[in-house]
Amino acid sequence: NESKSKFPNYPGLERWRLIEKMGDGAFSNVYRAQDREGTAGEVAIKVVRKYEMNSMQRANILKEVQIMRQIDHPNIVKLVDFSESRQYYYIILELAPGGELFHQVVRLTYFSEELSRHVIVQVAKALEYLHEERGIVHRDIKPENILFNPVPFVPSKNPKPKQPGDEDKVDEGEFIKGVGAGGIGQIKIADFGLSKIIWESQTMTPCGTVGYTAPEIVKDERYSKSVDMWAMGCVLYTLLCGFPPFYDESIEVLTEKVAKGQFTFLSPWWDDISKSAQDLISHLLCVDPEKRFTIREFLAHPWIRESGPTPRDER
Ligand code: ADP
Ligand code: MG
Query: Predicted ipTM?
Result: 0.99
Residue of 149, 191, 194 with the most ligand 1 atoms within 8 Å of its CB, for mutation: 191
Mean pLDDT for 266-280 is: 97
| pLDDT reading at 273 higher than 50 | yes
Strand, helix or coil at 51? helix
- Residue owning the nearest CA to atom 15 of ligand 1: 23
Task: Report the pLDDT value the prediction gives residue 246, as an integer from 0 to 100.
Answer: 98
> Strand runs (DSSP E) across 71-128, as ranges?
79-84, 88-94, 99-100
Q: What is the mean pLDDT of the chain?
A: 88
Q: Is the CB of 46 under 6 A from ligand 1?
A: yes
Q: Around Cβ 170, how many Cβ atoms within 10 Å?
A: 16
Catalytic residue among 35, 81, 140, 313: 140
Q: How far is residue 187's CA from residue 203's CA, in Å, rounded to a whole number?
A: 30
Q: Which amino acid is at 230?
A: W
Q: In terms of residues, how long is the chain?
A: 315
How many Å lie between the centroid of ligand 1 and the Cα of residue 191?
6
How many Å lie between the centroid of ligand 1 and the Cα of residue 223?
26
Tens of pLDDT, residues 203-223? 555 555 667 888 888 888 888
Burial (Cβ within 10 Å: 0-12, 13-18, ≥19) of residue 1: exposed
154 vs 139, higher pLDDT: 139
How many Å lie between the centroid of ligand 2 and the Cα of residue 68?
14
Binding site, annotated residues for ATP: 46, 94-96, 144-145, 191
How many Å lie between the centroid of ligand 2 and the Cα of residue 246?
20
Give the residues across from 24 on adjacent strands.
29
Q: How far is residue 8's CA from residue 14's CA, in Å, rounded to a whole number?
A: 12
Read off the pTM.
Answer: 0.88
Contacting residues for 67 by C-beta, under 8 A, at least 6 apart: 136, 192, 195, 197
- Residue owning the nearest CA to atom 25 of ligand 1: 96
H or E element that contains 30: strand 28-35
Strand, helix or coil at 192? coil
Output the CA angle 287-291-295, nearest 5 degrees.
100
Q: Which residues surround ligand 2, an ion (CB under 5 A)?
A: 145, 191
> Strand runs (DSSP E) across 74-195, as ranges?
79-84, 88-94, 99-100, 136-137, 146-151, 183-189
DSSP state at residue 310 = -
